[in-house]
Amino acid sequence: MQRRFALMISPVAADDERDDFDDTFTTVDASAPALSVGELSTQRGDGVFESIGVVDGHAQEAEAHVHRLAHSAMLCDLPGPNAAQWRRAIEVAAAQCAPGEAVIKLILSRGVEHGPTPTAWATAAPAGDFAAARRDGVRVVTLDRGYDSGASERAPWLLLGAKTLSYAVNMAALREAHRRGADDAIFVSSDGIVLEAPTASLILRRGDTFTTPAPTGGILHGTTQLSVFEYLAAEGFRTAYETIPVAGLATADAAWLVSSLRLAAPIRAIDGAALPVDGGITASLNRYLLSPRN
């Protein structure tokens, strides 16, 4: 694969039933300028996106990502994406990926200010090397997100459950975690409820039960977390969505951050307190997550 691949997408209506969408795509030089200076994705972060892991040319959980893109678009009052068109864009981008791990990004922006249509594009690039995080684990700190657990229901305009391009807060949280000597962070609500990491979902193990924070309170429902729960259920484990208080983190038998690119990274310390690492489960999770799946 070339170092990066980029595909501009001319969005069609969600109910467009054409059979061939290839004439709505334009391959562009990924290193050359492609967006207008009036583009609202860059001016205001006004848009939504998805990051899809690719393994040996196979886009993982593509359908779940397309569905979540549509959900985020709905929350942001963007025109609904045509699912078939975006599936085809994923296929085209995945075909450009070399063997090994890569990442496809889907972006849907409100477009140019006062423009008639959204701007959309997809990119493909080699993925980063996450072997150390998968093998050795990560240290995390808890950070107050600044909202209580009912904020998303009271104030849906905060877009807490949408995967938007406005990621400045997420990146600031990671920088704060690094300042505190950790690798990552776990957001908690101001009333003491565990939420999610800036770029990952959280899974805890207690005995043979695996839990994750209930996807309420503005939590982005993780596609990788859903895949992990499907795998664990098939292996005979119990899975559950729960409201988890901050104090519950310290009582877990093991914990992981899971995401489309890093996959399953065991948590080895929370706020400086060591947490057991389950190497066997971690290895089995990552073997599964590296296998082709839809």
Contacts (Cβ under 8 Å, ≥6 apart) of 149 = 189, 191, 193, 216, 217, 243
Q: Is the dihedral of CA 137, 201, 127, 39 positive or negative?
A: negative
Condensed to tens digits (0 to 9), the pLDDT of residues 244-294 reads: 999 999 999 999 999 999 999 999 999 999 999 999 999 999 999 999 987
Q: What is the pLDDT of residue 166?
A: 92
Instruction: Specify the DSSP element, H or E, that contains 173.
Output: helix 168-179
Q: How far apart are CA 117 and CA 36, in angstroms?
A: 13
Local confidence band at 136 (pLDDT 50, 70, 90 cut-offs): very high
What would the pLDDT profile of 227-242 be if each residue is shown by its tens digit?
A: 999 999 999 999 999 9
| pLDDT score for 217 | 63
Judged by DSSP in three states, 232 sits in helix
Domain 5-126 has CATH 3.40.50.720: no
| pLDDT tens per residue, range 152-204 | 889 998 988 889 999 999 999 999 999 999 999 999 999 999 999 999 999 99
The reported pLDDT for the residue numbered 99 is 93
Report helix, strand or coil for 151.
helix
Give the position of tokens 């119990």: 238
pLDDT given for residue 294 in this prediction: 77
Tell me the mean pLDDT in the region 37-45. Answer: 92
The pLDDT mean for the chain works out to 95
b/e map 237-259, b = 16+ CB within 10 Å: eebeeeebebebbeebebbbbbb
- 251 SS3 class: coil
pTM of the model: 0.94
> Domain residues of the chain, as ranges?
5-126, 131-289
Nearest CA-CA partner of 40 in 118, 133, 150:
118
The CA distances from residue 164 to 59, 107, 151, 183, 187, in Å, are 21, 9, 17, 23, 17
Q: Count Cβ atoms below 10 Å from residue 288 Cβ, excluding itself.
A: 18
pLDDT value of position 2: 55
CATH of 131-289, picked from 3.40.50.180, 3.40.50.300, 3.50.50.60, 3.20.10.10, is 3.20.10.10
pLDDT over 70, % of the chain = 99
pLDDT at residue 54 greater than cutoff 60:
yes
